């Protein structure tokens, strides 16, 4: 983990060395998901040209699409003014969301706080992740 | 702070009750910035119709644009599959970034890790925030 204040991105600014990384569709500009990166995930993203995150629940690198095939080819990387948030413009293969939606942001919240599904599923998550239907 | 697992957004999933909130321009779909919200900031955003964040450095609610005038009128709120990241589609007044750029993501990072400013400044931050030029 870098401790250099001028490092870009500056992983020393993240909690446990993790920074938020936003993935945006390079063509439609739709925001697809938000995940986390540590320095190793970022380096591997740069080198491979495909999005690699750090899974906080599994406590390991998460090579997006390794199981589902739903990889993200990185078209452009941006970093914000404080160098503590990463923006990836990607070509998304399949569905970004593990629930089978194009984007993880498939629900709207209305002014009264009620949530509603606003999008259509692209794929059946059971077919992608090999779960049996009940 | 909610401790209800089905709450949307689910602030109990955030570190210190804070969730990442992404602001996206409702017209251009440009990602403008990423900041943090606690339950109070989210509630005030819903009620006022303008983006309210929680400033980790100042440890208080941050009514975006209160000093600069660069408010964000909220057009749509979305929440992700895990209910732990918020997406605001906004009408941005002025520049989202305190450095005077339209978006905080004004720098690209190339494959060799080098960062470069890719955008033009919209406004002089010294004129907005009342700092004296040196």
Percent of chain A with pLDDT over 70: 93
Asked whether the predicted pLDDT for residue A17 surpasses 80, the reply is yes
Q: Is the pLDDT of residue A10 over 80?
A: yes
Task: Give residues 78 to 117 of B whose Cβ lies within 8 Å of A.
Answer: 78-82, 85, 87, 97-99, 101, 104-113, 115
**Nearest residue to B54 via CA among B65, B66, B46, B63:** B63
List the CATH number of the domain containing A56. 3.10.20.810
Contact (Cβ atoms closer than 8 angstroms) between residue B98 and residue B33: no
Q: Rounded to whole angstroms, how far apart are CA atoms B50 and B65?
A: 9
Tell me if A17 is assigned to some domain.
Answer: yes
SS3 content of chain B, % helix, strand, coil (to 5): 15, 35, 50
A106 to chain B: closest CA residue: B80
pLDDT for B133: 42
What pLDDT is recorded for position A1? Answer: 43
Nearest to A94 by CA among A58, A122, A117: A122
Residues of B33-53 as b/e, b for ≥16 C-beta within 10 angstroms?
Answer: bbbbbbbebbebbbeeebbbb
A50-64, A120-134, B21-35: least confidently modelled range: A120-134
Beta bridge partners of A121: A101
**The predicted structure's pLDDT at residue A129:** 75
Count chain A–chain B contacts defined by CB atoms under 8 A: 101
Residue A133 placed within a domain: no
- Binding residue per annotation — A97? yes
CB A118 within 8 A of CB A54: no
Record: contact B107-A31, CB cut-off 8 A: no
In a domain, B1, yes or no: no
Residue A75 lies in a domain: yes
Report the alpha-carbon distance of residue B24 to residue A32 in Å, rounded: 12
pLDDT attached to residue B128: 79
CB within 8 Å: B109 and A79: yes
Mutate to test the interface with A, among B52, B55, B68, B109 (most CBs of A within 10 A): B109
- Tens of pLDDT, residue by residue over A63-76, are 999 988 999 999 99
- The minimal CB distance from B31 to the residues A81, A87, A98 is found for A87
**pLDDT for position A24:** 98
Across A55-69, average pLDDT: 95
Confidence grade of residue A134 (pLDDT, cut at 50, 70, 90): very low
Is the residue at B128 inside a domain? Answer: no
Closest residue on chain A to B24 (Cα): A31
- Does residue A80 form part of some domain? yes
Cα–chain-centroid distance for residue A17? 17
Chain-chain contact of A29 with B30 (C-beta, under 8 angstroms):
yes
Instruction: Dig out the tokens for A127 from the structure.
Output: 């077919």
* pLDDT in the model for residue A6: 75
Parent domain of B42: 11-122
Q: What is the pLDDT of residue A130?
A: 67
Q: Is residue B4 part of a domain?
A: no
Cβ distance of A105 and B46 shorter than 8 Å:
no
A119 is in an annotated binding site: no
Task: Tell me how far apart the alpha carbons of residues A115 and B9 are, in angstroms, rounded to a whole number.
Answer: 9
Inform me whether the pLDDT recorded for A45 exceeds 90: yes
Closest listed residue to residue A50, CA positions, set A29, A66, A30, A35? A66
Query: Three-class SS of residue B109?
Result: strand
- pLDDT of residue A50 exceeding 50, the answer is yes
pLDDT at A98 over 60: yes
Cβ A113 vs Cβ B46: under 8 Å = yes
Terminal-residue alpha carbon distance, chain B: 44
How many folded domains does chain A comprise? 1
User: How far apart are alpha carbons A104 and A125 in whole angstroms?
Assistant: 13
Q: Is residue A15 part of a domain?
A: yes
Q: What is the pLDDT along chain B (134 residues), one digit of tens a residue?
A: 444 567 899 999 999 999 999 999 999 999 999 999 999 999 999 999 999 999 999 999 999 999 889 999 999 999 999 999 999 999 999 999 999 999 999 999 999 999 999 999 999 988 877 654 43
């Amino acid at each position: 983990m870098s401790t250099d204040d001028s490092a870009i991105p500056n992983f020393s600014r993240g909690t446990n060395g993790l920074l938020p990384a936003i993935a945006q569709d390079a063509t439609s500009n739709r925001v697809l998901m938000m995940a986390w990166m540590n320095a190793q995930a970022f380096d591997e993203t740069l080198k491979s040209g495909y999005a690699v995150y750090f899974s906080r629940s599994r406590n390991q690198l998460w090579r997006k699409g390794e199981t589902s095939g739903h990889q993200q080819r990185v078209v452009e990387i941006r970093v914000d003014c404080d160098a503590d948030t990463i923006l990836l413009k990607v070509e998304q293969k399949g569905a970004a969301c593990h629930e089978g939606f194009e984007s993880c942001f498939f629900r709207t919240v209305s002014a009264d706080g009620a949530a509603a599904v606003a999008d259509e599923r692209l794929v059946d998550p059971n077919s992608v992740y090999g779960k049996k239907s009940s």
